[in-house]
Amino acid sequence: MGVMAETSHDARTRLSRPEASDAVSGIGWRLILGEFSTEVLTGSLPLAADVAARAAAVPGAEGHLRMDVRADRVILSLQTAAIGWVTPLDVELAHRISAIASEFRLTTQAGAGGPGRSVQVLEIGIDAMDIASIRPFWQAVLGYADEPGHEGPQDALVDPLGQGPAVWFQQMDAPRPQRNRIHFDVSVPHDEAHQRIAATVAAGGTLVYDAEAPAFWVLADPEGNEACVTTWQGRDG
């Protein structure tokens, strides 16, 4: 009943980042890149399929729920696809799916059950002088499509099957031949960013830029190739 009370207003209302994070953190979901993410460790493929089937049958899940069923777990994401963000309906669905997991004596959790890491979202950023001229190449070679609602000549590209990372383009103001121009953005749960950064530095990396943390930190490998660790925090205002 409490869930319904929290989500009784317009199901298409965009939640603020703090609202969204607070609404689901207590039930094992995390806000990452505008969607709720979690996983259910099942230990077997048949049980993972059973959990996925029950989650898919939740009323209202269509257009919101995406799942990746693996040999020992099911990874779940929620977002109101029509607006590309999370809404009160997504909060309600997260609570209902967590309740389903508990019926199997399982839990929704952001991670810590698998080797190495929690749920995350990976994107590839490409620096370019002329985005409009290179974007068609990347769209063709990857077989990607325009991001729904963002069909401009400089907008991101997405995998229509949802398998690969999104590709976005960053405007350069001058050539940088001695710096890598394609980098990974690794979006992690906001409360795990410092752990990920520390592990990266311990593995030989260098923190090269943190002026805009906690939105993102730029790290480099021993040869100067860069990657960003990002969170939802620090992006308002």
Class assignment of domain 121-230? alpha beta
How far apart are alpha carbons 165 and 157 in whole angstroms?
A: 9
Query: In this predicted model, what pLDDT tens digit does every residue of 45-68 receive, in sequence order?
Result: 999 999 999 999 999 999 999 999
CB of 88 closer than 8 Å to CB of 11:
yes
CB of 119 closer than 8 Å to CB of 30:
yes
Query: In this predicted model, what pLDDT tens digit does every residue of 122-147 receive, in sequence order?
Result: 999 999 999 999 999 999 999 999 98
Do 121-230 and 2-109 fall under one CATH topology?
no
How far apart are alpha carbons 143 and 136 in whole angstroms?
A: 10
Q: Which residues of 13-50 are buried (b: 16+ CB within 10 A; e: fewer)?
A: ebbebeebbebbbebbbbbbbbbbbbbbbbeeeebbee
pLDDT at 116: 55
pTM: 0.86
The answer for residues whose C-beta is within 8 angstroms of residue 28's C-beta and 6 or more apart is: 38, 98, 107, 108, 109, 110
Question: The tokens 């939105």 sit on which residue?
Answer: 215
Tokens of 45: 């493929």
User: What would the CATH number be for the domain defined by 2-109?
Assistant: 3.30.1360.20
Name the average pLDDT for the chain. Answer: 90
Helix and strand numbers (H, E) in the chain are 6, 13
How far apart are alpha carbons 88 and 66 in whole angstroms?
A: 17
Is the pLDDT at 150 greater than 80? The verdict is no
Q: Where are the domains of the chain?
A: 2-109, 121-230
Query: In this predicted model, what pLDDT tens digit does every residue of 94-133 receive, in sequence order?
Result: 999 999 999 999 999 986 544 557 899 999 999 999 999 9
